[in-house]
Amino acid sequence: MKRFIILGALAAIAAPAISSLGGEEVSAVPTWLAGEGELKAYQASRIFVDGENEVTDGFLLVRDGKVAAVIEDESELPPFLTITDLGDVTVMPGLVAVDSPVTGNGNQGDLSMAAHRRAVDDFDPFLDMDRVLERGITTFYLSPDRRRLVGGRGAVVKSGGDERVLVEEGDLRVSLQPDAYNPPPYFRPPVPPTNENPIVPAKAQAPTTRAGALLALRESAANAQWGANDLHSRAMARFLKNKGTLRVAAGQGGEIRGALELAEAWGTQLVVDGGDAADEMADALARQRAAVVFHPPLFTSLPDLGPDWEPPAPDALRKLRDAGVSVALSPSVYGRWTWLLDAAAASTAYGLSDEEALTGITSAAADVLGVSDRVGSLAPGRDADFVVLHGHPLDSAASVEQVYIEGDVVWNRSTRAEEADLAASDAVIVRAGTLWTGEGAPLSGGVEVLLKDGKVIAAGRTVPHPAGARVIDAGDEAHVTPGFIDARSTQAVGRTWDPRAVMGLLASNSRADENWKVLAEAGITTAVIGPTTVNAQGVLSTAVKTAAGPGSEAYIDDRSVVLLDARTRSLSSLSSTLNGTLSGGKKYYEKWEKYREERAKWEKDQAKKSADERKESEAELRKRLATGAKVEKKVEETESDDEAAPAVEEEEEVVEADPINGLWEGTIEDERLPEPLEVLARLFHEGTVLTGIFSSPLAPGEEAELQGTWNPDTKTGRFEIEQEGLTITLEGVIDAPDHMNVTVDLAGLGSAEFEMNRTEIDTGPVKAQTKRVKKDAGPQPPRLDARFEGMRALYEGRAVALVYADQAEEIRATVEAFQKAELPLAIIGGDEAEEVAGLLRKANVGVVAPRDLVVREDGQDIVPAAELQELGLPVAFQSGTSGRRAAALPRALTMAARYGLGTEQVLHSFTAGAARMLGIDHRVGALRAGLDGDLVIHDGRPFDLRTRITHVFVNGKEVK
Amino acid sequence: MLRTHSLISTLTLAATASAGLLAAPASAQDGNIAVRAGKVITAPGEVIENGTVVVQDGRIVAVGGPDLEIPFDTILRDYPEATLFAGYAEAHTSNGLDRPNENVPVAPFLDVKDSIDPVSFFFEDELRGGVTALGVIPGNNTVIGGMGHIVAPHGTTVEHMSLGDGMGMKLAIGPRRGWSRSAQLAELREAEEALKDQLRRLGQQLIDQQADEADAAKAGDEAKDEGDDGDGNDDAGGFIRFGDDFDGKDMISEDDLNDVQRGLVRILNGDVRLWLSCPTATDVAHGLRWVEEHDMPADMVVFVVSANAHKAADMLAEAGAQVALTGSLESVEMNPVSGKEERTFAPSVFAEKGITFSIGSEKGRMGPDRLAYQAALCVREGMTRADALALVTVNPAKLWGMEGKLGVVQEGAHGNLTLLSGDPLAAGSQVMKVWIGGNEVYDRNSDERLQRLLEGRTK
C-alpha cells in the first residue's frame, strides 16, 4: 500500500542517502562497496538525490543499472574505479510525468464504464521517444480513456531501457468532469442471436450529470460487490478488493467532494487529477491522505480559455502542502505534457518552494504512480535513471544534455544531432561574474552573454535562452571582455602587399599558419594587417579576424585602413608632399565619381529606353492582334530586339581551330580562398605573343588585359604580372584539346593549380580581337591605379588613414593636411604627440601608442599611452609585428597596467576605443547586440598577472 | 449472413464460363505423370540437371536423373530447355474470398471453405503466375476471424482445391478499423473471459445433471451406460485442456458447446495453428505477450506482419517466432528528429536475425503482385537466390506445417509442379505449364486470355 504522506516517504527515501553522505557512520564500510557487478562512477558539480537533498561536487555510483550511492568524498571511492567526469553539470533523477496524452484520447470504445480496459494495451513500445527524452522524462503515465466515466486502468512505462513497462495495471481512472457526460449509446449484437439471447436496441449510458456520474459509480461498485458477471463488474470487484489507487479527474469543488466520497466509501487511495480548486478542500484531502496532480497553466500562445477561466490562487499549492497533501505536477492541457521542468518552475508561483517543485516532478510524482520504489530519486537501490543538465533544473536556461535509464545513455544532445544529420544549435550562453562591454564601467554580480550565428545577440544581467544552447558557466570570479584589437600588425604579410590582387587569398591562406591561433588564444581577435614597409602614398590594409573560417566573416570587408608614412627628414617639404598625395588621390577619386555618375545615368537611360521599346512593341503587337495580323514572327523579332547592343562582334569565317584562341573558363578551388573563384579568359595569340583578357564574375565590369608569351611547341602560355615588386606568374599548359592546366604562382606567397576548359573557339582573324572587349556601349570605368586606391577609399569614406608621424611637426603637418582634405585620421607612433595634444584633441585625432609601452626617461618610468590618455586623447595599441611576438601584446599591456595604465583604460583602448579609431566599431570592439561574437573569458580581473584567459570566441565560435 | 445467395449463381455462371478455358487436357490416367526437364529444382539451391519426376496418384513417387525408370503406364513429358520446380506458394492471403471479413468481431466459427470462390479470377491468375499453393484465411479486420485453408488455385469445388487439413485460425492483435488497440485487446480478453465463465457454468450444470440422473438411476428407473457424463450427447468429455481446473471441467465434450465456444476452446487448447495479425511492431510486442500469457508453442503460431514490424525483429527472433510478411517489403518511415524519410527492407532484417519467414505478393501493383518479383527484390537487396526462393516455396510450407509436402520436389510431396522457361527469379521466365496433383491444369499455349492479351484484339 502506498503512503501519501510525502514528508514521511521522503524521509524514508532520503535517510539511507543522507547516512551514506558520511555523517555519523564514518567507520563502517559503506554498504555500496559490497555487491556483484561493475561499479561505475559519475562525477558532477551538483547531484540532486531528490528534490530536497543535493550534493555539491559529488559522485553518483551505479551498479547493474541501479543507484549504489551518492557520495561527496572522493577518498571513499575504491581504487581503480573509472570515473566519468560529466563536468560542470547538474545531475538529477529522471523526471516522472504523472500524466501524458500518449494514450487515452478516444477510440477506446463506447462503454461508459470499462474498468477492464487497460491503457498498457495502447502502449506503443516503438513510439519515438526523442521529444520525451529531450525534456529529461524517463518515466511516464499512460492514461486510459479520459472521456469516459470509468476509463480503465492506467499504466506506468519508461521512455527507454529494456524493461519498459513498470506497472501494467495501475490506478483506476474515473472522470467526474463534463467531458465524460453523455457517452454514446452502447450496442453489441449477440452472436449468434437466439431466442434466449436476442438482439436488443442500443442501450443509453450514464452519466448525463455529475449526480448521475456518482450514482452510476456507486451502483457499479455495488453490482461488482454483489457479483455481477460482466467484465467491467469483475474488474471493478478486483479493484475494490485489492484497494488500488483511484484517480479522479476533478476540477471544481463539487467534483473533488465527489471524489473524496468515493474514495472514502471504497476505502481506496485517492489521487485528484487537476485540482485547481483543491486548495479549498485541503484539510479534507489531507484527512483522506489524498494526493493532488496539479496542472500549472503554461502557454506558448494564448488559448481560448473561456470566460469563466480563473488562474489558480497564488497560494493554492502552499495551502495544500501546509495541510500535508502531496502535490505532483504536470503541465495543463494548454501546454505540452513534456514541459515538466517548466511546470515545476511555474508552480513556485502558486506557493511551492524550489525543493517542493522538484519533488513534484520526481519523488512525489513517482509516489502518485506507485513506483517510488523504482524511480523518482537517486537513493540507493533505485533505478539509475538520471538526467544531466546544464544549470539549475528550474532555471529557464537549463538544458538537458544527456539522459540515462538504468545506467545506460538513452539520449544525448550532441550525438543525437549527429545521428539525425542535423546541425546542432550554435548558440552559446556565457556566464560569468563580471561583464566588460568595452564601454563604461563593468557590470558585476553575475552576467550573461548570448552568442548565436556568429554575432552577439544579447549581453547583460540575463539574456534569452534558446533551446539547445550550450552554456559555459565560467563562475562568479570570471570576467568577460570583448576580443582585443591589434591596431597594427604585419601578421603573415611580406614586405609588399597588393590588396587588390591577393587580399582575400592572403587572409584565408594564412589560416594554416599556427601563429594566428596563438594570437587568438592570447585574446586578440581582430588585427589590422598591412605590409611592413609603408610609403607616403598610402597602402590599403584590412582588419582581419584572427580565427575564422573562409568567407566574408574572415575580415572586415566594408572598411579599410590606409597606412601612410609621414616621417621625413625634410620637414619643409612634408606639407607639400602630403598635399600632393591628397590632391592626386582626390583627382583619381573624382575620375571614379564621374564615371559612376555617368554610368548610373546611362543605365537609367538604357532602362527607360528598353522599357519604351518594350511598350512600343507591345502596343504594336496588340494592334496587330486586334487587326488579326500574323503574330508569331513579330514576337521573335521583339525578342531579338531585346538582345541589342552586342558585346562582341562575331566572325562567321571558319578556319582551322587554333589550340589556344578562344574563351576559356575555369574555377580556382582552393581551401585558402574564401570561395571558389570563377575565371574567364579570352586568349589569342600572334606568333609567340599571347594576349589575354581576364575577368571574373566576382568583379563584374572589370577586366585585366595582359601580354604574355605563347610557346606553340610545348603548348604553353605564360603571363607575368609585375605589381609593386610582386611577380605573379600564370602558366597554362594545354594537355588535351580545349583543356589547360594552369598554375598560379604568387611570388612565393603561395601557388594554386586549376583547370580551364575552352567553351568558345575563336577562328576568326586574330587582329580583330586584340581590341579590348567592351561590355557594352555605356561609359567605361577609368583605369585602376594601385597607388591611389587607398586614397580613393579614404575619399569614398570607406577607410581611416593611419599615419606614421613621430615629431610634433610631422604630426602637425599631417593633421592640417588631412583636416583640409576633410579625411579621417589617426596617428601611429606619435613620440611627441603630447606636445601637440591640443591640436589632436581639437581635430579629434587618436593615437596608436608606440610599441614601447613603458620607457625610462630622466630616471623615471613613463607610460606614453597613459600620458596621452591623461591629455584626453583616444588611444589604441599595436604589436607592429608578426608571428608569436604579436601575441605578447596583452601581456605587455598587463605590465603597463602595473605601471599606471588603468585596467579600464587599457581595456577600452584595446577594444571599443581602437574599433572607433579604426572605423570598425560597427563590427567589433564591444559586447553589444548585433556586433561580431568575439569575446574573451578571463578567470579573474583582466590585465592582472594572476589572471588566465580560459576561453576565446571569434565570430561566435570557440577557438580551440 | 455468411454466404451470399448470389454466390451460388455466380459460381454456376463462372464455372460454365471457364470450363472450356482451363480444362485440363485428358491424360492417360488421373494424377499420373512423369516430367523430365533441363533443370529440376528439388529444393531451393538443389538442382538436378536433366532431372525426372514421377507422379503417381497425385503424389511424387520418384525424383532422379535422366535415367530414372518410368512406370510403363505413365507418359513421360520431356522439356530439355525448361526448369521444373514445385511452384510458388503464397503463405497468407485473403483474396479469392467473397469478402475478407464478416462484421462480427469474434467469429471463430467461420471457415473460409464456405467463402472461397473457386472460379474467381484471382485463382486463375495465380495459376497463370505459377502458384501451386495458397493459404487462404480471413482478413485482418477482425478480432477472431475464422479458419483458413490451404488450397491449390484450381478446381471447381473447395474440396477439390484443398491441399491439407486446414491452415489455422486468424486472430488479430492489430486493431480493427476504427478501433484502438486497447479496445481490440479488451475484446479479445472479453471473449476469453466470457468463454471461461460459460464453461464454469456448463461444468456445474453437467455435475448437477449427473447427480440428478444418478438419483434417478438409484431410484431404478433405467440403467445408464458407464462413462456417460449425463448430457446424452456423447460419452467422452475432456475437451477442455487449458486454464485452471473447475468443477465439471473433465465432463465437457465438444458437442456440449456452441460454435463460438468450440472455436475458442480449440484456440486456447492449442489445437489449431494461430495466424496472429500484428501489422506493426507495436502489435508484435502485444502479440508476443499474448502468446506468452497463453503459453502457446512457438511452432503453432504465425505472426502475420507488415514491413513495419522489422523494428520488432529482435523480439520475434528471441521468441523463435514464425513470421508471414505481407504487403510491401519495404517500410518507409519519417525520422522524427530530422524529418527525413528512412527506408528499411524488412526481409533483410528478418533474414539477418535468423527468423523463419515468408513473403507475400501485393495485389493491385504490377510487379509486386507476383511472388517471383518479390523474391527477386530480396536478391537485389542482398539475399542469396536460394534463400529468396525459399521465402516463396519451402518457408510458406513450414508455416503451414506442411514441410516436405509442399514447396519441394521430393518423394512423398504433392504432385504440384510448375514448368518455367527459365530461372524462377528471372523476370524473363514464363510459366509454361502447371501440374496440380499430377494433373496438367495450365498450359500457356492454350491460355486464351493470355493470348488475347498478348496479341491484342484481332477482330
B54 versus B451: the higher-pLDDT residue is B54
Plot region of A566 (φ>0 → left; ψ -120 to 50 → alpha; else → beta): alpha
Are A532 and A490 spatial neighbours (Cβ–Cβ below 8 Å)? yes
Residue of A nearest to B287 (CA): A121
Helix A808-821 / helix A571-627 crossing angle, nearest 10 deg: 20
Residues in A touching B104 (Cβ below 8 Å)? 189, 191
**Among partner residues A121, A145, A191, which is closest to B181 by beta-carbon distance?**
A121
Q: Which three cell numbers stand for residue A140?
A: 511516464
3-state SS string over chain B? CCCCHHHHHHHHHHHHHHHCCCCCCCCCCCCCEEEEEEEEEEECCEEEEEEEEEEECCEEEEEECCCCCCCCCCCEEEEEEEEEECCEEEEEECCCECCCCCCCCECCCCEHHHCECCCCHHHHHHHHCCEEEEEECCCCCCCEEEEEEEECCCCCCHHHHECCCCCEEEEECCCCCCCCHHHHHHHHHHHHHHHHHHHHHHHHHHHHHHHHHHHHHHCCCCCCCCCCCCCCCCCCCCCCCCCCCCCCHHHCCHHHCCHHHHHHHHHHHCCCCEEEECCCHHHHHHHHHHHHHCCCCHHHEEEEECHHHHHHHHHHHHHCCEEEECCCCEEEEECCCCCCEEEEEHHHHHHHCCCEEEECCCCCCCCCCCHHHHHHHHHHCCCCHHHHHHHCCHHHHHHHCCECCECCCCCCCECCEEEECCCCCCCCCCEEEEEECCEEEEEHHHCHHHHHHHHCCCC
Q: Do A192 and B337 touch (CB under 8 A)?
A: no
Are B304 and B275 spatial neighbours (Cβ–Cβ below 8 Å)? yes
Q: Do B182 and A121 touch (CB under 8 A)?
A: yes
3-state SS string over A150-165? EEEECEEEECCCCCCE
pLDDT tens figures, A842-861: 888 999 998 888 888 888 88
**Angstrom distance (rounded) from CA A834 to CA A869:** 10
Q: Do B182 and A421 touch (CB under 8 A)?
A: no
Residue linked to cell 471473449: B191
* Band of pLDDT at residue B178, cut at 50, 70 and 90: confident
pLDDT tens figures, B273-297: 999 999 999 999 999 999 999 999 9
Q: Is B37 on the interface with A (CB under 8 A)?
A: no
Alpha-carbon distance A435 to nearest alpha carbon in chain B (angstroms) = 37
Note the Cα B222 to chain centre separation in Å: 50
Alpha-carbon distance B280 to nearest alpha carbon in chain A (angstroms) = 9
**Angstrom distance (rounded) from CA A218 to CA B153:** 59
**Angstrom distance (rounded) from CA A846 to CA A825:** 8
- What is the arithmetic mean of pLDDT over B172-191? 88
**Angstrom distance (rounded) from CA B374 to CA B393:** 12
Whether A274 shows a pLDDT value over 50: the answer reads yes
Residue of A nearest to B177 (CA): A107
Whether A747 shows a pLDDT value over 70: the answer reads no
Residue of A nearest to B286 (CA): A121
**Among partner residues B106, B259, B282, which is closest to A125 by beta-carbon distance?**
B282
Q: Give which of B158, B175, B156, B152 is closest to B111, Cα–Cα.
A: B158
* Band of pLDDT at residue A714, cut at 50, 70 and 90: confident
Beta-carbon-side half-sphere exposure of residue A413 (alpha carbons within 13 Å): 18
> Which phi and psi angles does B237 have, rounded to 5°?
85, -170
Alpha-carbon distance B207 to nearest alpha carbon in chain A (angstroms) = 21
pLDDT of res. A17: 43
Residues in B touching A199 (Cβ below 8 Å)? none
pLDDT of res. A722: 67
Contacts of B287 (CB under 8 A, 6+ apart): B173, B276, B278, B303
Dihedral sign from CA coordinates of B293, B299, B303, B308: positive
Instruction: For residue B148, list its beta bridge partners.
Output: B168
pLDDT of res. A422: 59
Whether A651 shows a pLDDT value over 60: the answer reads no
**Among partner residues B182, B280, B282, which is closest to A118 by beta-carbon distance?**
B182
* Band of pLDDT at residue A25, cut at 50, 70 and 90: very low
Instruction: For residue B47, list its beta bridge partners.
Output: B41
Whether A496 shows a pLDDT value over 80: the answer reads no
pLDDT of res. A821: 87
Q: Which alpha helices (H) appear in A243-382, and where do they start and end?
A: 253-266, 282-287, 316-323, 340-347, 354-360, 363-369
pLDDT of res. B221: 56
Q: What is the dihedral of CA B416, B422, B427, B432, to 10 degrees?
A: -50
Selected residue of B110, B182, B331 to mutate for chain A interface (largest A Cβ count, 10 A): B182
pLDDT of res. B458: 58
**Cβ atoms within 10 Å of B259's Cβ, excluding its own:** 13
Are A347 and A311 spatial neighbours (Cβ–Cβ below 8 Å)? no
CB pairs under 8 A between A and B: 80
Whether A725 shows a pLDDT value over 90: the answer reads no
Selected residue of A122, A147, A173, A197 to mutate for chain B interface (largest B Cβ count, 10 A): A122
Q: Give which of A402, A412, A413, A543 is closest to A467, Cα–Cα.
A: A413
Residue of A nearest to B312 (CA): A126
A228 versus A468: the higher-pLDDT residue is A228
pLDDT of res. A578: 86
Residues in B touching A108 (Cβ below 8 Å)? 180, 182-183
Beta-carbon-side half-sphere exposure of residue A212 (alpha carbons within 13 Å): 15
> Amino acid letter at B321?
A
**Angstrom distance (rounded) from CA B304 to CA B391:** 14
Residues in A touching B286 (Cβ below 8 Å)? 121
**Among partner residues B185, B186, B336, which is closest to A130 by beta-carbon distance?**
B336
Q: Do B259 and A421 touch (CB under 8 A)?
A: no
pLDDT tens figures, B415-459: 999 999 999 999 889 999 999 999 999 999 999 888 888 887 655
Q: Is B140 on the interface with A (CB under 8 A)?
A: no
- Listed range (A535-539, A772-776, B43-47) with the worst mean pLDDT: A772-776
Q: Do A118 and B186 touch (CB under 8 A)?
A: yes
- Listed range (A597-606, A895-904, B408-417) with the worst mean pLDDT: A895-904
Residues in B touching A103 (Cβ below 8 Å)? 182
> Amino acid letter at B11?
L
> Amino acid letter at A956?
G
**Among partner residues B104, B186, B282, which is closest to A117 by beta-carbon distance?**
B186
Are A546 and A886 spatial neighbours (Cβ–Cβ below 8 Å)? no
Contacts of B17 (CB under 8 A, 6+ apart): B119
Q: Do A122 and B181 touch (CB under 8 A)?
A: yes
Of chain A, the end-to-end C-alpha distance in Å amounts to 56
Residues in A touching B260 (Cβ below 8 Å)? 191-192
Residue linked to cell 575563336: A762
Contacts of A27 (CB under 8 A, 6+ apart): none
3-class secondary-structure state, position A212: helix
Q: Which three cell numbers stand for residue B39?
A: 533443370
pLDDT of res. A2: 40
**Angstrom distance (rounded) from CA A720 to CA A706:** 8
* Band of pLDDT at residue A19, cut at 50, 70 and 90: very low
**Cβ atoms within 10 Å of A947's Cβ, excluding its own:** 16
* Band of pLDDT at residue A634, cut at 50, 70 and 90: very low
Q: Give which of B325, B267, B319, B317 is closest to B288, Cα–Cα.
A: B319
Q: Is B458 on the interface with A (CB under 8 A)?
A: no
Selected residue of A126, A130, A425 to mutate for chain B interface (largest B Cβ count, 10 A): A126
Q: Do B104 and A103 touch (CB under 8 A)?
A: no
Q: Is B106 on the interface with A (CB under 8 A)?
A: yes
Alpha-carbon distance B179 to nearest alpha carbon in chain A (angstroms) = 6
Residues in A touching B193 (Cβ below 8 Å)? 231, 234
Residues in A touching B280 (Cβ below 8 Å)? 124, 126
pLDDT of res. B433: 95
**Angstrom distance (rounded) from CA A843 to CA A675:** 41
**Cβ atoms within 10 Å of A558's Cβ, excluding its own:** 11
Plot region of B243 (φ>0 → left; ψ -120 to 50 → alpha; else → beta): left
**Among partner residues B193, B311, B338, which is closest to A231 by beta-carbon distance?**
B193
Q: Do A117 and B340 touch (CB under 8 A)?
A: no
pLDDT tens figures, A236-252: 999 999 999 999 999 88
Concatenated DSSP letters of A57-89: EEEEEEETTEEEEEES-GGGSPTT--EEEEEEE
**Angstrom distance (rounded) from CA A116 to CA A234:** 8
Beta-carbon-side half-sphere exposure of residue A421 (alpha carbons within 13 Å): 7
Alpha-carbon distance B414 to nearest alpha carbon in chain A (angstroms) = 39
Whether A764 shows a pLDDT value over 60: the answer reads no
Contacts of A897 (CB under 8 A, 6+ apart): A903, A906, A943, A944
Percent of chain B at pLDDT > 90 equals 64
* Band of pLDDT at residue A61, cut at 50, 70 and 90: very high
Residues in A touching B337 (Cβ below 8 Å)? 130, 416, 419-420, 422
Residues in A touching B178 (Cβ below 8 Å)? 107
**Angstrom distance (rounded) from CA B324 to CA B346:** 12
Instruction: For residue B133, list its beta bridge partners.
Output: B89
pLDDT of res. A10: 39
Residues in A touching B282 (Cβ below 8 Å)? 123-127
- What is the arithmetic mean of pLDDT over A140-149? 93
- What is the arithmetic mean of pLDDT over A870-874? 88
Alpha-carbon distance A125 to nearest alpha carbon in chain B (angstroms) = 6
Are A482 and A936 spatial neighbours (Cβ–Cβ below 8 Å)? yes
* Band of pLDDT at residue A375, cut at 50, 70 and 90: very high
Alpha-carbon distance B178 to nearest alpha carbon in chain A (angstroms) = 7
Which positions in chain A have a beta carbon within 8 angstroms of at least one beta carbon in chain B?
103, 106-109, 114, 116-119, 121-128, 130-131, 144-145, 152, 189, 191-192, 229, 231, 234, 416, 419-422
Residue of A nearest to B176 (CA): A107
Dihedral sign from CA coordinates of A925, A929, A931, A935: positive
Q: Is B7 on the interface with A (CB under 8 A)?
A: no
> Amino acid letter at B264?
L
pLDDT of res. A700: 58
Concatenated DSSP letters of A382-443: SB--EEEEES-TTSTT-EEEEEEETTEEEEEHHHHHHHTT-PPP--EEEEESEE--SSSS-B
pLDDT of res. B170: 96
Instruction: For residue B61, list its beta bridge partners.
Output: none
Q: Do B337 and A191 touch (CB under 8 A)?
A: no
* Band of pLDDT at residue A549, cut at 50, 70 and 90: low
**Among partner residues A108, A124, A189, which is closest to B183 by beta-carbon distance?**
A108
Of chain B, the end-to-end C-alpha distance in Å amounts to 44
Note the Cα A189 to chain centre separation in Å: 61
Q: Do A131 and B336 touch (CB under 8 A)?
A: yes
Are A357 and A329 spatial neighbours (Cβ–Cβ below 8 Å)? yes
Whether A769 shows a pLDDT value over 90: the answer reads no
